[in-house]
Amino acid sequence: MDRELLLLGLLMEGRMHGYRLNEYISDVMGLAAGVKRSSAYYTLDRLERDGYVSQEVEREGKRPPRRVYEIKEAGRAHFFALLRSQLGGYTQTYYADDAGVAFMDYLPPAEVAVLLSQKRERVMGVMEQFRALPDQGQAWRHVVEHDVAHLEAELVWLDIVLSDLGGAPLLGGGVG
């Protein structure tokens, strides 16, 4: 997910302090967004430098000061440009794990089968995490369904490779 689009989209809902932005990202969008706290603050600082958001420091009572971010008019225009570009475009997905697959012939097939069975279990675990996410409305549901569809395709592919390796037993049964 594009960090700028994500952060600007959250700020379209109103002013937010950095902690709340990060909390929302990690609690609600953590599986799909891949944004870490440090990169969120870095992106917010860059958006501020570029004139898309403003930041002010607020203090409530004895609490430590906190940065509160607000989208500016230029940020709204940038958000809609990013949104249209992303919805109408396509970004090809590359899988880092393919490097290992490309060289799996260097290991004995039985070991590869064990390793890929472990990978399959991890994929199933991630899929269950996605399915357990709270419903955040129709748009968010489409994000979760998109990620689950990719995970299901990964499971089908793993089953094919495991079968090619000699019918290695599947851990945990079939797809989801």
pLDDT, tens digit, 9 for 90 and up, residues 61-103: 888 888 899 999 999 999 999 999 999 998 888 888 999 999 9
**The 16-17 sheet, strands edge to edge:** 16-17, 66-71, 53-58
Whether residue 122 is predicted with pLDDT greater than 70 in this model: the reply is yes
Alpha helix locations (H) across the chain?
Answer: 3-11, 18-28, 30-33, 37-49, 73-88, 98-102, 109-131, 138-164
CA angle 93, 75, 65 (to 5 degrees): 100
Class of domain 3-88: mainly alpha
Provide the 8-state DSSP code for 14. Answer: -
Interatomic CA distance for residues 142 and 10, integer angstroms: 17
Interatomic CA distance for residues 6 and 17, integer angstroms: 15
Whether residue 3 is predicted with pLDDT greater than 90 in this model: the reply is no
Interatomic CA distance for residues 87 and 89, integer angstroms: 6
Give the pTM: 0.72
pLDDT, tens digit, 9 for 90 and up, residues 142-170: 888 888 999 999 999 999 999 998 854 44
**Residue 14, Ramachandran bin (φ over 0: left; ψ between -120 and 50: alpha; else beta):** left
3-state secondary structure of 12: coil
**What would the mean pLDDT of 124-148 be, rounded to a whole number?**
84
Residue recorded with tokens 């409530």? 60
Whether residue 29 is predicted with pLDDT greater than 70 in this model: the reply is no
Domain definitions of the chain by residue range:
3-88, 98-164
Residues 6+ apart with CB under 8 A from 56: 67, 68, 70
Q: What is the pLDDT of residue 149?
A: 93
